[in-house]
Structure 1
Amino acid sequence: MDGALLELKLIGDIVGSFRVARYQRGYRWGQLEVERLLNDIWESKGEPYSLQPVVVKRDGETTWELVDGQQRLTTLFLIFVFMQRERLQNSGPPYALKYDTRPGSETYLQDLDAVRAKSNIDFFHLHRAYECIRKWFDAHGARRQYVANKFYGYLFESVRVIWYEAPKGLDSTTLFTRLNVGRIPLTDAELVKALLLSHSRGGADATDRTHEIAAQWDSIERDLQHPDVWAFVADEHAADSPTRITLLLDTLAGGPRGRARPLFHTFDALREQVEQNSPKVVWDKVVDLHALVLGWFENRNHYHKIGYLVAVRQRFSDLVTLAAGRTKSSFEAVLDKRISDTLDLTPSGLTALSYETDAHKETCERLLFLMNVETVRRVEHSSERYSFRLHRLGDWSLEHIHAQHTEGLTKAEQWKQWLRIHREALADLYSIDDARREELLRRIDDVGDQIDRQVFQDLARDVTAAFTLADASTSATVHSVHSVTNLALLAGGHNSALNNAVFEVKRRRILELDRKGAYIPICTRQVFLKYYTDADAQQVHFWSMQDREAYLRAILSTEGGIGLYLKPEVPQS
């Protein structure tokens, strides 16, 4: 919407005649909307308060086409009419409303006759809104006049609309459809853009920078639309924003976050900065912040560390604050500290984590995610990057590398599927005694459709045992089935039979997915390819204690794992 003019306009300063074009429907606000407007104005208590934008196009010197805001301006018009008719104030509305296709509505706005209210759907809604206004003021009882005086004062002193004058060349019907039929309101970003452009037009002794800012704006938006750039830097509050530059504008505006952030806070905050400084000062900050994001993206270490932090719900604006005034090396040290804080683990604390403990689950998932990011980051002379874009698209969950229990399976169809996929792997398991393997295969085949919980549990226990090495070289507490040494990140959506499968069955599934081009986190792939296990200890079908110990050493390593981010052990007193 280049070429638009934008300003804040007090309600009492809205003058002239507003034409409601034929493409618009009539007035349709009900009790909820009318009372909300009244309450919002009253509860502002005289503090500066912005209503939603009113979008207009100039028809003449004092006449306007009202593109968006008919419902608000009409309700405010009715409030003025009510206060004048009830002799609560001397003056009526400072502006007029006209209709291309509803000339009777213009007249009805002046008399609001209850008898005629049911003769026309537009009259009905106008009269109902007027009665809502009456009830609202009457509810204040003896303080009615006092409230009216205060309310009237707010309209002239503190309550304003964001006045958006659209360019003359912009098609009104298209703009109205976009703003109303599609329910796509003007955003903070669009309002800020119009603000900057309207304040950057050349004057007698000033350079016109509108084309420069508009071109730079589009360039920044294109850069942030790059999926890999956006995925590593967009926090949870910005992730779904259709206008990516909003992330930069919100950061510069500061203020409350999430649901506590007032409507159009970013616009209001940046408007104040423009007025206190200049549009150039504010726009240069946006350009600098954009350059900072691209610099982070190009720096391999910053990309991975910031991407991890953002993915675990750290705020982009907080990271910008951390970077302020720091060299690259000192900023990286601060990032390392922040990453360490997200884990808050010592080596012994990591070893003691258990999937069974609800408080540990998020920590387990977070450290394995970090392990994957760090594994990619530390590959020297590589252009490969961890894909935060694919990570964001995935529904990741912690999976047991080797499941030893099947209690989670409760239905006959799940039991039969579990036996079917394990039979395929068992048929190729030549590392166990032939007679034992053949007996297990026969027992599976004999089950058929006649299966109950006890039959399944007995058979599943024996099949699982065949895929489990009986090595007890380390305590079962350290390497229990629920410890980090038996966990990996996998995409969600797997069926429950596979979730409860033994190592060999999952290994086959991982290889199958990998061959089909599915995204498998690098450490998950390395686990099932026995990357961490010494060559002389390889037993391809089993996830043994030796495998778990090697996996744990890799995780704790400061060179290839996450040891860099673990906190020192607290000395025993």
Structure 2
Amino acid sequence: MSNPSAAIELRSVVRLLTDENGDQAKYWVPSYQRGYRWNKIQVFQLLDDIWEFIQAGDGRPKSSFYCLQPLVVKKMNDGRYEVVDGQQRLTTIHIILSYLKDIVAILDRSNFQIDYETRDATFLHDIDLDRAGENVDFYHIGEAWRAVEEWVSKHSRPHALKLIQHLLNDDEIGQNVKVIWYELTLEDDAVAAFTRLNVGKIPLTEAELIRALFLRRAAKDDLTGSLQLRIAYQWDRIEHSLQDDAFWYFLQNSGTTTNRIGLIFNLASELWNRPDVGDDHSAFSHFADALQGEGTAEKNWKKINDIFLALEEWYEDRYLYHVIGLVLHHSPRSEMEIGALLTDSRQSSKRDFRAGLRKRILRLIFDKRGELSTDEIRQEVDEQCRMVSYTKLQKARKLLLLFNIATLLENEKSNIRFQFDSFKKDTWDIEHIRSVSGERPDNPSAQKAWLQHCLAYLRTDNAAEAAELAKAISQFLDEDATRADDLTFEKIDGAILIYFKEAQEGGDNALSNLTLLDSRTNRGYKNSVFAVKRDILLKNDQAGTFVPLCTRNVFLKCYSSAVGNVTFWTKDDAKAYFNAICRTLTKFMVSSEVV
């Protein structure tokens, strides 16, 4: 909806009171809009939010302000403004100023006027609670009036004065309340805009507001239109790139299908030290200020584009993609981490930047800070890997994910990349490689599901023992068949463990018996024997389900020096797997490779 010709700015509430000639401002609400519908809670929330902002005034910079949602208007031929979006907020401000009109008068101000195409405006301009029951519009206006009355009664009169002083502060620098003023052009269709914003429930995003700021400033700075076209082209390229989930989930841990470009503006606000970064519309307010002067469009857009190009460079560099992707995955506030990384990359050499990334991983995964020698890193990796168990799932996930990343980076000639998008869109379990005796299914439905997985595998085995065991399982699962008294789940379970050589020594909870697996696959064959797990996982891999490289390697027994029978997971296999984890993590953490 953003229109480069539309007027868009931050406008203090006091500027809503008068038009450009200094006369009383008049707003007109057309018939396509519903009436006023805010309730007491919404009015309380607005007043409380403004009051909280006022109370924190001493701790805020002078330029800070409380920002209301956009007010979308269109100038009419008679000088009035047609209210396209924001009627509820505008009316609430009118009610607040009406209730405290004596204070407003002391400040030598007067309220603005609101008229309606099909409704009576006299009640709003002279609220009489005795008439509040006459229709639904009067009722809600009356309730809002009572809410203001109740809020003021809970505070002192000086507090009410302070509220109005901030609400009507005409200092354009800040310490007041502002709205995002979005004025459509005469050519814009107000009804279509209203439909988009209200009926379709597609509000103006902050990105659209910022786009309008840039294009409007560019039109003033360059009359040829070439700057506008360049910004519009690069904007579309950035938006298109960020819609690629592979790129987006490299940077972020959660998905959003709209306004992904907002990430770039949030980063810009953070890098340029906005004190209110993180507040609603903080990025917009930053650019509303930054684009005030002549020639500011190209300068500020270059900063935006430079941020995107840096992120794109990280994404295209295979080493940086994996290491930065890992860092951001483990960062509780990825935007702040990206900002810090951007700063580091600009202030450091390529070699130092990459060394700094490994230090971040050492801190995030191993909880170690400062420089460690090769021997200290080797010892730390070995100790932490030995300490990890199935009871420490978060630590196990971190180490196993790092193992996957480090394994991929061992082969510099490979073009395989870890799928952060597939990984982050799914939920992941830490799965036992070899079954654990204490986790056998304990209810009939789970037992049947477990046996069905085993049966499916045994039917592919040509051994006579497998056929005999499959026959016993089939009899147990057939509810209509006559079943021998001693044919119990426990007996069949024991026979299965003997056949797959998992009876004598059950798998343990150490890292050497753990791997990453998506929750759907894991819970589908919960605690099956190794051979069954292997069969299901490889079929999923062939079908296109994302299986982490090291998980696939485990079930292919790639870490075992002597493969032997691929259907069993032995102590030697577990030992070789554990040693591979320690060796790979140590090599990655001490690596001096920076090219």
**TM class, shorter-chain normalised?**
0.7 to 0.9
Tell me, yes or no, if the aligned pair for 2:557 and 2:563 is still in contact at 8 Å.
no
Instruction: Determine whether 1:150 maps to 2:183.
Output: no
How far apart in 1 are the matches of 2:228 and 2:493?
72
Task: Report if aligned partners of 1:34, 1:129 keep a CA contact under 8 Å in 2.
Answer: yes
Aligned partner of 1:8 in structure 2 is 10
1:368 lines up with 2:423 in the alignment: no
Identify the residue that residue 178 of structure 1 maps to in structure 2.
196
Secondary structure of 2:431 counterpart: strand
Distance in 2, matches of 1:101 and 1:223, equals 47
Question: Unpaired segments of 5 or more residues in structure 2?
Answer: 19-24, 58-63, 170-175, 368-379
CA displacement 1:146-170 (0-9 Å, x = unmatched)? 2343222112211221211233333
In structure 2, C-alpha distance between the alignment counterparts of 1:351 and 1:77, rounded to whole Å = 64
The alpha-carbon deviation at position 292 of structure 1 amounts to: 0.3
Q: For 1:166-245, list aligned pairs within 5 A.
A: 166-202=184-220, 209-236=227-254, 239-240=255-256, 242-245=258-261
The equivalent position to 1:24 in structure 2, one of 1, 15, 33, is 33
Equivalent pair of 2:390/2:514 in contact (CA under 8 Å): no
Which of residues 290, 304, 319 is equivalent to 1:286? 304
Q: 1:408 to 1:467 in 2, by over 3 A?
A: closer
- For the Cα contact (< 8 Å) 1:235–1:313, is it kept in 2? no
**Matched residue, 1:246:** 262
Residue equivalent to 2:352: 330
Q: In structure 2, do the counterparts of structure 1 residues 133 and 424 end up closer, same or farther at CA, with 3 Å as the change threshold?
A: closer
Which of 504, 507, 531 does residue 558 from structure 2 map onto? 531
Amino acid at match of 1:336: R
Q: Distance in 2 between matches of 1:207 and 1:327?
A: 38
Q: Which residue of 1 aligns with 2:446?
A: 414
Distance 1:170 1:205, change over 3 A: closer
Deviation per residue, 1:121-148 (Å, 9 max, x gap): 21222222222222322333xx42x234
1:345-366 deviation line (CA, Å, top 9, x unaligned): 8232244134332xx2112112
Q: Do the aligned partners of residues 427 and 217 (structure 1) sit closer, same or farther apart at CA in structure 2, a change above 3 Å counting?
A: closer
TM-score by length of 2: 0.82
Q: Kindly provide the amino acid, as one letter, of the partner of residue 543 in structure 2.
A: K
Q: Offset at 1:262?
A: 2.0
Q: Residue deviations 1:517-537, cap 9 Å, x none?
A: 322222222211122223x44
Q: 1:549 to 1:117 in 2, by over 3 A?
A: same
Matched, 1:159 2:153: no
- Give, in whole Å, the separation in 1 of the partners of 2:107 and 2:289: 34
Partner of 2:60: none
- Residues 281 and 497 (structure 1), Cα distance of their counterparts in 2 relative to 1, 3 Å cut: closer
**Is the CA contact (8 Å cut-off) linking 1:537 and 1:546 kept in structure 2?**
no
Conservation of the 8 A alpha-carbon contact between 1:400 and 1:499 = no
Q: How far apart are the structure 1 equivalents of 2:313 and 2:46?
A: 45
| Counterpart residue type for residue 362 of structure 2 | S
Alpha-carbon contact 1:50-1:162 (below 8 Å) kept: yes
| 1:493 aligned counterpart, secondary structure | helix
Partners of 1:493 and 1:226 lie apart in 2 by: 25
Match of residue 563 from structure 1: 586
Contact kept, 8 Å, 1:28 with 1:71, in 2: the verdict is: yes
Query: In structure 2, how many angstroms separate the alpha carbons of the residues matched to 1:204 and 1:55?
Result: 27
Tell me if the contact between 2:99 and 2:145 (Cα under 8 Å) persists in the aligned partners: yes
Provide the rounded CA distance (Å) in 1 between the counterparts of 2:281 and 2:443. 53
Distance 1:437 1:180, change over 3 A: closer
Q: Secondary structure at the match of 1:24?
A: coil
Write the distance in 2 (CA, Å) between the matches of 1:90 and 1:551. Answer: 77
CA gap 1:87/1:387 in 2 versus in 1, 3 angstroms: closer
Q: What residue identity is the alignment partner of 1:81?
A: S
TM superposition shift of 1:402? 1.1
Does residue 304 (structure 1) correspond to residue 322 (structure 2)? The answer is yes
The SS at the match of 2:219 is coil
Aligned residue in 2 for 1:132? 147
Residue 439 of structure 1 and its aligned partner are, at CA, apart by 7.1
Whether the 8 Å CA contact 1:471–1:545 is kept in 2: the answer is: no
Question: Quick check: 345-354 or 186-195, which moved more?
Answer: 345-354
1:451 Cα deviation from its structure 2 partner: 10
CA RMSD between the two structures: 3.3
**Alpha carbons of structure 1 residues 196 and 389: separation in structure 2 relative to 1, 3 Å:** same
Spell out, residue by residue over 1:527-571, the C-alpha distance to the aligned partner (whole angstroms, 9 max, x if none): 11122223x4422111112211221222222xxx22235589xxx
Q: SS of the counterpart of 1:489?
A: strand
Deviation digits for residues 235-272 of structure 1 (CA, Å, limit 9, x no counterpart): 44xx3261121111111112999x99322122223434
- List runs of 5+ in structure 1 lacking aligned partners: 569-573
Deviation at 1:506, TM superposition (A): 0.8
Alpha-carbon offset, residue 458 of structure 1: 4.7
Determine the C-alpha separation between the residues in 2 that align with 1:537 and 1:452: 40
Paired position in structure 2 for 1:571: none
- What's the TM-score, normalizing by structure 1? 0.85
1:57 aligns with 2:74: yes
Distance in 1 between residues matched to 2:194 and 2:185, nearest whole Å: 13
* Aligned twin of 2:113: 96
Assess, with a 3 A threshold, how the Cα gap between structure 1 residues 77 and 349 changes in structure 2: closer, same or farther.
same
Shift of 1:306: 1.4
* Counterparts in 2 of 1:93 and 1:41: CA distance versus 1, 3 Å: farther
* 2:426 matches 1:390: no
Mapping for residues 425-440 of structure 1, pairs under 5 Å: 425-426=457-458
Q: Does 1:43 align with 2:52?
A: yes
**Corresponding residue for 1:552?**
578
Determine which of 135, 142, 145 is the counterpart of 1:120.
Answer: 135
**Kept after mapping to 1: 8 A contact 2:390/2:511:** no
Tell me the secondary structure at the aligned position of residue 248 of structure 2: helix
What amino acid sits opposite 1:18 in the alignment? Answer: Y
Aligned equivalent of 2:513: 486
Of the structure 1 ranges 410-419 and 449-458, higher mean CA displacement relative to structure 2 is found in: 449-458
| TM alignment of 1:63-74, pairs within 5 A | 63-74=80-91
- In the TM superposition, residue 490 of structure 1 has moved relative to its aligned partner by 1.4
Report percent identity of matched pairs: 32
CA distance in structure 2 between the partners assigned to 1:324 and 1:20 by the alignment:
51
Kept after mapping to 2: 8 A contact 1:376/1:386: yes
Per the alignment, in what secondary structure is the counterpart of residue 150 of structure 2? helix
Mark the CA change 1:73 to 1:454 in structure 2 (over 3 Å): closer, same or farther. Answer: farther
